[in-house]
Amino acid sequence: MLYNPHSYQTFATDYILSHPIAAVLLDMGLGKTIITLTAIEKLLHDRFEISRVLVIAPLRVAAMTWPNEIRQWDHLSSLTYAVAVGTPQERRAAVLQDAEITIINRENLEWLMESGLQLRYDMVVIDELSSFKNPKSQRFKAFMKLRPKLSRVVGLTGTPSSNGLMDLYAEYKCLDMGKRLGRFIGRYRDAYFVPDRRNGSIVYSYKPRPGAEQQIYEKIRDITVSMKALDHLPMPELLYNRYPVTLSAPECGKYRSLCDDLVLKLSTLPAKQVITAANAAALSNKLCQLANGCVYSDDGIPVPFHSRKLDALEDLVESAQSPVLVVYWYKHDLLRIRQRLLEKDIVFQELTTPDSIKSWNAGQLQVGLVHPASAGHGLNLQQGGHHIIWYGLTWSLELYEQVNARLWRQGQQARTVVVTHIVTEHTIDDRILAALSDKSRTQDDLIAAVKAELPLKKGVSNVLT
């Protein structure tokens, strides 16, 4: 296929070419893979500045998206590539091909660094840079062993600070080895943040000091470019709906009992089994389960609590005039949703395989079931429908926005994409939606601070606002 890039795609490719270290914050659907591959092809075959590239990506993106993009476009046909996923033997064989581009899933980066294989990479692309936000993670530590050997690094993401500005430290250290935000996270934290929530000497969270956000943006702006889809594409309208359901008085009482006492007994449980929450994180998890309508006992048994979200989902699916993408969180959510759809003879599949994704995009399904962790990155589902229903919510802004972007993206033919949240009122669902909104504002501030304005004339450099 012939590649006819949009002007913003050419601009982003040129930015990568002119910046050996580049953080490219591209909104979902703008084509970050083809943008980056075009730059790689030029660096390999026109400029001869690099010889071997390692692409680190989420598993499904590594196995499907990057290889598919290379095969799809005419100008990339001369590139050689190998996909290092699967068993250790399969990964080893792929690396030994010594292809120009080796694509590996991020979970296997530690294996690669400990494999004993000769690694000749002089450029790395981190697809979804935000997945390297934890400086204590094994993938971060593995990458930092490789980083000094690289002449070029590109970090791609649409959600650089999904949980706040603290995320940026490790992400940018991957790029510049600490030149801009510091070599140590403690110094970064002390310079730009103050304690927020705490219990005595234990600090649970930090908030930016006055003026810190702009100081951070100023530090990173010379290697950062960002683009929002709405600025460059005729995107469909994105509408958010709230579909409330309400617990009965007895159910509210049981919900409050778990909140107050951290212990819950249900009539559906055997006498010796209870539901307990040992700490705040466990309590949050249990409350989310109760809001969804089912909760795991301490012995791991799923215990039904209410069916109001299932009833609401049934109503929404039946009233929809097109296929619906349903997002679940817990395994018991999936089992209960599957059972209800089977009872109502609704055609559905879990979108976990290439064949199921093909069926969805062909319009053969009434419902596609996805989990945010597996459908959050790299899947093009916009041809199958334009309505998303969040049955179970997530605290992660990154997963939330990435899932919504499976439908709200370039190539969506509908004029409107509708995102509906089934919310159990007066439960933790309300707090999750509020938290997602607060995190979004923080991230939008970062995007705006390093936003690229396309040059009006060829040869004019970009301006950062």
Distance CA 52, CA 339 (A): 49
Q: What is the pLDDT of residues 58-107, one digit of tens each?
A: 887 888 889 989 998 999 999 999 999 999 999 999 999 999 999 999 99
Average pLDDT over the chain reads 86
Distance CA 56, CA 107 (A): 9
Res 275: pLDDT: 63
Q: Classify strands 53-57 and 123-127 as parallel, antiparallel or unpaired.
A: parallel
Distance CA 291, CA 392 (A): 8
State the average pLDDT over residues 390-399.
89
Short-list 177, 148, 143, 128, CA closest to 25: 128
Q: What is the pLDDT of residues 309-344, one digit of tens each?
A: 999 998 888 777 679 999 999 999 999 999 999 998
Distance CA 408, CA 286 (A): 31
Res 177: pLDDT: 96
Maximal C-alpha separation, the chain: 75
Distance CA 77, CA 276 (A): 57
DSSP 314-382: HHHHHH-SS-EEEE--SHHHHHHHHHHHHHTT--EEES-SHHHHHHHHTT--SEEEE-HHHHSSS---T
**CB-based contacts of 319: which residues, under 8 Å, 6+ apart?**
none
Of 289-298, 312-321, 376-385, highest mean pLDDT: 289-298
DSSP 256-316: HHHHHHSEE--TTS-TT--EE--SHHHHHHHHHHHHHTEEE-TTS-EEE---HHHHHHHHH
Distance CA 58, CA 53 (A): 17
Distance CA 58, CA 109 (A): 11
55 CB burial (10 A radius; 0-12, 13-18, 19+): buried
Res 462: pLDDT: 34
Distance CA 158, CA 171 (A): 13
pTM (predicted TM-score) = 0.66
* Domain annotation for the chain: domains and CATH numbers: 7-232+447-464 (3.40.50.10810), 234-245+308-426 (3.40.50.300), 248-305 (no CATH)
Distance CA 417, CA 404 (A): 9
Res 72: pLDDT: 87
State the average pLDDT over residues 121-126.
97
Please state, in angstroms and as integers, the Cα–Cα distance from residue 323 to each residue in 74, 104, 126, 354, 389, following that order: 33, 33, 33, 18, 11
